[in-house]
Each structure stands twice: as structure tokens, then as C-alpha cells.
């Protein structure tokens, strides 16, 4: 078994208040190298070899801290919380009390509000051992932050295995009833972050159903079959093959921006289950996603508009990256028919997602 390189930290930049942000480098010794920022728990880069053996960064990101810290950036690589995705009207009722959240995606609240977990500085500790390279991040969200009740203590561990897997383990505990839905918001381009559109990537989703939305991207409450619609990825095909079809749901999202209901075996709740497989035909790189979550959000980078540039200066145009956000369903606090995201003091929130990288011949 090859020697593993432990998490290596270096200063990455300084925020306006003087807080120093560090970057941790994880290397599994087999070609997979990941860089993690303490700001937002951001996966700044994931280097993976292609068919020709040449490594390339396969996630979108920025070269400097100032750009990450700007308002209205698209959550590149960030940890999302307290609540991933949208909550209708920026409010929910819990135990008879209504809580109001920042409306940062009018008329809804998105990804935890204006200063969610993606804008917080996390405390990092080395979490590697003889078999893995890893770093654990911790953040305590105070009661009332972004309108959410309860003090929430969160730990997120990034681990690299010898099998070229990046595993993310989430854990959270609260001192009062609240809602929690955590994810990572990396945008993948398996051809390389500077390669342009992901529409030629071949995608398979292990999901026969999805949750249609209204015009504001809030689920209607329906769980609908994907069969016979442009949302059917139960067999692998190019992401761009039907993305411009005349379909109301595609118009609402300006492409794919929808939650899929993962196929789970009976009694398999909370266990790692295949969620997605993506392949770039040009480089041979393959990404498989496994998760303990019940859903996955497919987002095809529809709002990227050429105003942002990557670490090497490449312009990120429309659909330059693909997000596969493992999660509970959007707006669950207001949707009694969806799997609950409620967390009470006697409970512990646990979730896991694995990104497995390989190459086809």
C-alpha cells in the first residue's frame, strides 16, 4: 500500500476582519489530490488523472479568497447549511412557532441564507490515518443564525481512500428543535475545469422519480415518474441531449435544476446507495456518486454567464460545470409528505456521500 500524505495546511488569504483562511492539501498517493479551504469548507480543487495519465482539476473554483468571499458567487465547492436548497417564502413553522429566514433567492430562501455555512470559517484538524488522508472541519452555528432555531454543532470530514474515493461524512447535534440539510456544492467538469460545457458528459441517475417545481423552483409536493420526460437519466446519455426540449420544468430551471428521488432498496434508508454516474468521453474520467441521502439535486450550471473566471483564467460560461448535490428534498419543512429534516436535541444528524473517480479505457 503506497504511503499517504497527511493533510498539509498553508495560509490561503485573509478576510477583511483579519481572519486567516488556510488551505489543506490531501493526497492519497495514487493520483487523487484534493485541496480544502477553511473558508466555507470549500473544495477548491480535485485533481484526477485522465485516460492519458495526465491529472487535471475537475471542479470549478477561484484562485483567491477575495473572489470566494464576494456576495452572489455560485457556491463553488462549498459546504451548504443549515439548509441546502430552497425553503418557500423564507419561512417555516416548527412546534407552533413560525421562523423567518433571509430571502436571498426571491421569493425564497436558498442554501441557508445570505451568510450560510459557505460564508463561515471552519476549524480544521488533521483526520488522516494509515489508510486515508483526511481533514475534519467544525463549526458551531449559534441559535438564531440566519433565522434558524437552536445552537447547531457541525463536523464535516473529508477523507481520501486508496481506491480514489473522496468521502464526506457529516455530523450535527442541536440543543433545540431545528431543520438540518447539509451538502457540498461542487461543480464538476470531468474534462477539466477550463474545458467549457459539460453537455457532452454522459449521465446516469439511479432515480426513477423526481420532484417537479413551480416557477420559483419550489417543489409542488408531487413525486413524479421521470419516464417519458427529458428528466429520465435511468440510462446513460449526454446531458445536453434533451436539455433544450420544450418542457415547462426545463423552462422553470433554464435547464436541469431539480431534485431526484433516489431508488433505494427496502430497509436501505441511511445506507450508502448509488446515486449517479458521470463519464466524460473525451478524457475517460468517470465519477460515481454514492450517498446515504434520499435525494440528489441535478444542476446543469444554467446561470453561469461568463462573468467568472477560474484559477487558470478560463471563463466559466453557461453549463461549464455540473452539480450533483446529495440532500433531503427541497422545502421539506413545508412539505409534510417529504422525508423529514427535523433534528431534535436527543438525535444526531449523520450523512455520508462518496465521490469515486476512475478511468475508462
Of the residues 22, 179, 185, 201, which is catalytic? 185
Cβ(343)–Cβ(172) below 8 Å: yes
**Number of structural domains in the chain:** 1
Cα–Cα distance measured from residue 164 to residue 41, given in angstroms and rounded to the nearest whole number = 20
**Could you tell me the residue range of the domain that residue 249 belongs to?**
5-359
Q: What are phi and psi of 67, to 5 degrees?
A: -70, -40
SS (HEC) of the chain: CCCCEEEEEEEEEECCCCCEEEEEEEECCCCCEEEEECECCCEEEEEEECCCCCEEECECCCCCHHHHCCCCCCCCCCEECCECCEEHHHEEEECCEEEECCCCECCEEECCCCCCHHHCECEEEECCCCCCEEEEEEEEECCCHHHCCCCEEEEEEEEECCCCEEEEEEEEEECCCEECECEECCEECCCCCCCCCCCCCEEEECCCEEECECCCCCECCCCEECCCCCCCCCCCEEHHHCCCCCCHHHHHHCCCEEEEECCCCCCCCCCCEEEEEEECCCCCEEEEEEECCCEEEEECCCCCCCCEECCCCCEECCCCCEEEEEECCCCHHHCCCCCCCEECCCCCEEEEEEEEEEECC
Cα–Cα distance measured from residue 361 to residue 346, given in angstroms and rounded to the nearest whole number = 49
Stretches where the chain sits below pLDDT 70 are 1-7, 267-268
Three cell numbers at 50? 485522465
Cα–Cα distance measured from residue 298 to residue 321, given in angstroms and rounded to the nearest whole number = 11
Cβ(337)–Cβ(261) below 8 Å: no
- For residue 129, the model assigns a pLDDT of 84
State the CATH number of the domain containing residue 232.
Answer: 2.70.98.10
Is 185 catalytic? The answer is yes
- For residue 7, the model assigns a pLDDT of 63
Is 136 catalytic? The answer is no
Of the residues 47, 293, 325, 328, which is catalytic? 325
Q: What is the pLDDT of residues 166-224, one digit of tens each?
A: 999 999 999 999 999 999 999 999 999 999 999 999 999 999 999 999 999 999 999 99
Amino acid at each position: 500500500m503506497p504511503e499517504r500524505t497527511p493533510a498539509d495546511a498553508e495560509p490561503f488569504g485573509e478576510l477583511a476582519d483579519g481572519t486567516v483562511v488556510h488551505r489543506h492539501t490531501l493526497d492519497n498517493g495514487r493520483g487523487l489530490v484534493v485541496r480544502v479551504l477553511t473558508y466555507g469548507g470549500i473544495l477548491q480543487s480535485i485533481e484526477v488523472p485522465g485516460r492519458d495519465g495526465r491529472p487535471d482539476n475537475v471542479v470549478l473554483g477561484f484562485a483567491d479568497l477575495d473572489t470566494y468571499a464576494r456576495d452572489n458567487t455560485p457556491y463553488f465547492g462549498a459546504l451548504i447549511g443549515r439548509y441546502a436548497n430552497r425553503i418557500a417564502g423564507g419561512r417555516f413553522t416548527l412546534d407552533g412557532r413560525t421562523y423567518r429566514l433571509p430571502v436571498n433567492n426571491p421569493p425564497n430562501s436558498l442554501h441557508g441564507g445570505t451568510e450560510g455555512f459557505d460564508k463561515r470559517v471552519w476549524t480544521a484538524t488533521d483526520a488522516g490515518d494509515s489508510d486515508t488522508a483526511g481533514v475534519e472541519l467544525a463549526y458551531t452555528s449559534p441559535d438564531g443564525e440566519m433565522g434558524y432555531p437552536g445552537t447547531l454543532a457541525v463536523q464535516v470530514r473529508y477523507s481520501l481512500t486508496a481506491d480514489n474515493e473522496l468521502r464526506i461524512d457529516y455530523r450535527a447535534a442541536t440543543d433545540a428543535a431545528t431543520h438540518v440539510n447539509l451538502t457540498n456544492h461542487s461543480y464538476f467538469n470531468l474534462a477539466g475545469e477550463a474545458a467549457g460545457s459539460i453537455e457532452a458528459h454522459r449521465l446516469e441517475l439511479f432515480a426513477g422519480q423526481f420532484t417537479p417545481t413551480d416557477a420559483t423552483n419550489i417543489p409542488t409536493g408531487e413525486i413524479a415518474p421521470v419516464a417519458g420526460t427529458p428528466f429520465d437519466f435511468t440510462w446513460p446519455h449526454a446531458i445536453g441531449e434533451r436539455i433544450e426540449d420544450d418542457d415547462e420544468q426545463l423552462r422553470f430551471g433554464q435547464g436541469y435544476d431539480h431534485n431526484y428521488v433516489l431508488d433505494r432498496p427496502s430497509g436501505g434508508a441511511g445506507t450508502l446507495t448509488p446515486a449517479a454516474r458521470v463519464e466524460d468521453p473525451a478524457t475517460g474520467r468517470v465519477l460515481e456518486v454514492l450517498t446515504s441521502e434520499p435525494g440528489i439535486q441535478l444542476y446543469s450550471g444554467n446561470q453561469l454567464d461568463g462573468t467568472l473566471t477560474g484559477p487558470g483564467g478560463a471563463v466559466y460560461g453557461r453549463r461549464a460545470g455540473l452539480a450533483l448535490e446529495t440532500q433531503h428534498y427541497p422545502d421539506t419543512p413545508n412539505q409534510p409528505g417529504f422525508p423529514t429534516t427535523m433534528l431534535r436535541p436527543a438525535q444526531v444528524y449523520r450523512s455520508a456521500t462518496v465521490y469515486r473517480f476512475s478511468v475508462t479505457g
